[in-house]
């Protein structure tokens, strides 16, 4: 994460002599998504739920429960 922030902030116009950029990547303009919203739109979350259900179905078929 810090590498991404460093690359994104390099070359800023208001960069100080020590290399620090004048903007804060975690400041007011940061985009934040609620955990529940992320689970709704994340393909990884969908795949995880589908995998769980398929595993459960497989267990029930194999073990007859």
- pLDDT in the model for residue 12: 53
Per-residue pLDDT of 24-61, as tens digits, reads: 667 777 777 888 888 788 888 788 889 999 999 999 99
Q: What ranges do the domains of the chain cover? A: 1-32, 33-65
Q: What is the pLDDT of residue 47?
A: 86
Entry pTM: 0.40
Phi and psi of 26, rounded to 5°? -110, 20
Residues 6+ apart with CB under 8 A from 9: 15, 21, 23, 25
């Amino acid at each position: 994460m810090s590498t991404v922030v460093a690359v994104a902030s390099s070359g800023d116009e208001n960069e100080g002599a020590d290399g620090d950029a004048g903007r804060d990547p975690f400041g007011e303009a940061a985009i934040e998504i609620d955990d529940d919203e992320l689970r709704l739109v994340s393909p990884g979350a969908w795949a995880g739920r589908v995998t769980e259900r398929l595993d459960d179905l497989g267990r029930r078929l194999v073990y007859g429960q």
